[in-house]
Structure 1
Amino acid sequence: MAEKMSCPFCQTQVEYAIENSPDWYRDPSLPVYRIDCHDKCRQYWLEAISDPHPQIDPAIVTFLDSLNDEQRTFVSESTRHACDNGILIVYNRNILQYLVTDWHYVKAAVTLYELNNVSFQISGIGFDVANMLFFLDTADARFTLRLHRAGTSIHEIRSKIYWLQALWNEASIRTLSPVPGRDGEMIQCPSPNDLSPRYATVYDWIPGETLHGLPAAEKTPELIRKLGIMVGRMHAVSETLELPNWFTRPRYDTDWITAKIEAALGSDTDTSAEELAKLSSLSLRFSQFVAEHGEERDVFGLIHSDLEPHNIIVSDGQPCPIDVMEFGFGYYLSDILTLSRHFSEDEQTIFFEGYQEIRALPTDYPQQLALFEEIRVL
């Protein structure tokens, strides 16, 4: 018979079990309390200690006792949204602290915008405690708020906004549209209580369904063609976009890829001779690719860098790229591969045709994509 207790987050009666932490956690040998709060928080784990007997880590209990009702509700709802999006969480005191600290920042940030009667919750889409994404809801609209990692350069964020606006202004690609604050600035800097300032940005909501979650019947040839056109337009913008001198984004360049290959070559002393030969061949073929193409703007420029199906919203039949946290300078082939590898052979043909309505692909692009696929899986 299952044991029962009050949920540490929402205080309802729940079932719990003491077990080892999940295999995917940082230390599977740690004891944890698995909390099954089906109606409210769903399922989560709390780190425990086993001396003198199994119990929830006292640091967690002390921290939760310090929270007010609004903060507890936020933790409970955040857990539910994460679980509903397939994210499993083992909480320790630090993760709970991150969540509540973000609550303070967002509560302060929403006052910097012309938004009234705002409620907010974590998106539950990903659980990046350093760059948390929130949904903001007013009486008649929804927005997203990105709370940026502490220490993020304002120029990195300005660069993201610059690119997003260029995609719309120059290629009519609907994507995240930044919302100005009360002072007219796109980037706000809340500093609640005694906490250090952090940057926040708000974007208009794009209604629709992710490409990943779209029913198969709606993934029509026409939509696949539009996806190819969208990626082609993104790269066409990148090829000609003039960048201000403050523009700064990561570079997924020749040095970055070469370092990735070299790390794989030296990562495991048990690597077989056959595998080493494959990696050496990959290094040679990539060097040949670079010698032929270099980093000219027709092959290398601003890319999304995470163009997975869950980062594309299909809204009114149009694909809209979102979540550009990783965007930077890289090979266009990387974007093309990231998305097209999810398609069937027939769908890939349609996708490439759509892309080439905007930009030409090299005659040997299948071989080039195969090369980048080998690099991707390293």
Structure 2
Amino acid sequence: MESKIDWNGLALTTLAQYNVNATQLVFLGHSENVTFCVDTRNNQNFATSGEYDQQALFLLRIHYPIAQFCDRIWQQHAVIESELIWLIALHQDTHLVVPYPVQNLSGSFITSVAVDDISETLNCTLLKWVDGSPLDTEPTPIQARQIGELMAQLHQHTSLWELPSGLTRPKYDWEQLHASLIKLRSLVDAGTISVTDFAVLESALVRISNVMTALKKTRTNWGLIHADLNENNYIFYAGEARAIDFSCCGFGYYLYDIAHTLLHLFPENRRSFLSGYQSVCQLPDGYQSILEAFFLGAMVNNFAFLALQPNEHDYLLETVPYVNESFCSKYLKGEAFLFES
């Protein structure tokens, strides 16, 4: 079905509803959204230019996920609008550089476009480009600290922000984690995950559920989180860490947000990240044991996402036993593992 859609043509149709004169349109990718870089500069080539003018570049998102992002909630108008409301608030209330939504000619931040090929109307958004470059290696300890500071600033904002009425985003809670476990169970019958390994994951998640349900949701530990601040979604500009791609943001524990990012850092950089975080926001007593629970929870969520992609099943076949041996077994024995090499 997706191959029938002329994404480039749809992008041009969408841009006609904005006061933006595109000189070049560059397809970036298709995951939770179809994305394009919109270049409005004259006589410059996006593909070869090393300098990106934030005022002249835009990010166009067509909110139509690939099959792996099968939950239609991400396409809903209210859910998309809520993400944009937070981005606007971050822009107005902080010094953080974040993607900023652009209004269309009708004054709306969301543009709906009818697509005959799929008999649907898709929601589209246009954001100002955030200048910066991704890292092509593991962050240095200094960079890891900066990423920690960045996340803490995001949490600091949402902990103080008066949420507008009707703000709607998915939740990263026990129900969501349980849904991930159900997705993984389907791989047991397929032989991708052994019965024994699934039993270990399930035992770990029972303990994680106890941790989650015991934590009361307060303004100091629960709020809007980025939920996907990994090496693809933080960039650096003039030595400053910046967050991009808030598409997966939702309500969750701040410690879960931290744990999700720690998944992508070496143990020594995890310490640097937390040092940077604590320079802005204080962590609660006993945070390490909670972080380890959420670290495994984030890993299971990632496995569930990969379970929907057949080309990733060989990776899961090798990785799940390793994770059980290296992390889950220690967690079930009460042994710390988060900062071990």
Task: Report the TM-score, using the length of structure 1 for normalisation.
Answer: 0.65
Q: Which moved more, 1:276-285 or 1:349-358?
A: 276-285
- Rate the CA distance shift 1:273–1:136 in 2: closer, same or farther, 3 A: closer
**Mapping 1:240-251, distance limit 5 Å:** 240-251=160-171
Q: Show the 5 A alignment for 1:115-154.
A: 115-123=20-28, 126-128=29-31, 131-140=33-42, 141-149=56-64, 152-154=75-77
Which residue does 1:203 correspond to in 2?
Answer: 127
> Which one-letter code corresponds to 2:267 in the other structure?
E
**Residues 109-138 of structure 1: CA distance to partner in whole angstroms, max 9, x if unpaired?**
111111225331211xx423x720011111
Q: How does 1:19-30 map to 2 (within 5 A)?
A: none
Q: SS in structure 1 opposite 2:223? A: strand
Distance 1:106 1:357, change over 3 A: same
The answer as to whether partners of 1:147 and 1:199 remain within 8 angstroms in 2 is yes
Residues 352 and 190 of structure 1, relative CA distance in 2, 3 Å threshold: same
Report the CA distance between 1:351 and its aligned residue.
1.1
> How many percent identity over aligned positions?
28
Deviation at 1:142, TM superposition (A): 1.7
CA-CA distance at 1:196 after TM superposition:
4.6
Structure 1 residues 268 and 198: alpha-carbon distance in aligned structure 2, compared to 1, 3 A threshold: closer
Higher helix share: 2
Please, which of 308, 325, 337 is the counterpart of residue 230 of structure 2? 308
* Contact kept in structure 2, 1:227 and 1:319, CA below 8 Å: yes
Change (3 A) 1:120 1:295: same
Residue 195 (structure 2) pairs with residue 292 (structure 1): no
Gaps of 5+ in 1: 1-93
Structure 2 distance, partners of 1:136, 1:233, is 29
Number of equivalences: 276
Aligned position for 1:162: 85
Q: Counterparts of 1:132-281 in structure 2 under 5 Å?
A: 132-140=34-42, 141-149=56-64, 152-191=75-114, 196-211=120-135, 213=136, 219-261=139-181, 264=184, 268=188, 275=197, 278-281=200-203
Deviation at residue 275 of structure 1 after TM alignment = 4.0
Measured in 2, the distance between the counterparts of 1:185 and 1:137 equals 21
Structure 2 CA distance for partners of 1:197 and 1:272, relative to 1, 3 Å: closer
Give the C-alpha shift of residue 326 in structure 1: 1.4
| TM-fit CA distance, 1:193 | 7.7
- Which residue identity does 1:96 align to in structure 2? S
Higher relative CO (CA 8 A, sep ≥ 6), structure 1 or 2? 2
Q: Distance in 2 between matches of 1:208 and 1:272?
A: 43
Matched letter for residue 119 of structure 1: Q
Say which SS state the counterpart of residue 145 (structure 1) adopts. strand
Match for 1:344: what amino acid?
A: F
Match of 1:96 in 2: 3
1:369 matched to which residue of 2? Answer: 291
Whether the 8 Å contact between 1:206 and 1:315 is mirrored in structure 2 is no
Amino acid at match of 1:187: I
Q: What letter matches 2:126 in structure 1?
A: V
Partner of 2:33: helix, strand, or coil? coil
Over 3 Å counting, the alpha-carbon distance change for 1:276 and 1:310 in structure 2 is closer
**1:272 Cα shift?**
6.7
Cα RMSD over matched residues? 2.8
SS in 1 for 2:275: helix
SS at match of 1:226: helix
Instruction: Answer whether contact 2:262 2:295 (CA < 8 A) is retained.
Output: no
For the structure 1 residues 281 and 193, does the alpha-carbon distance in structure 2 shift closer, same or farther, using more than 3 Å as the test?
A: closer
8 Å Cα contact 1:265/1:279 also seen in 2: no
Residues 142 and 278 of structure 1: is their aligned pair in 2 closer, same or farther, counting only changes over 3 Å? same
In structure 2, relative to structure 1, the CA distance for the partners of 1:114 and 1:373 (3 Å cut) is same
In the alignment, is the contact (CA less than 8 A) between 2:259 and 2:298 conserved in 1?
no
> Which one has a bigger Cα radius of gyration?
1
> Counterpart of 1:243 in 2: which secondary structure?
coil
Shift of 1:95: 4.1
Change (3 A) 1:359 1:135: same
Which residue in 2 is equivalent to 1:349? 271
Deviation readout 1:264-287 (Å, 9 max, x if unpaired): 578637877864663454234223
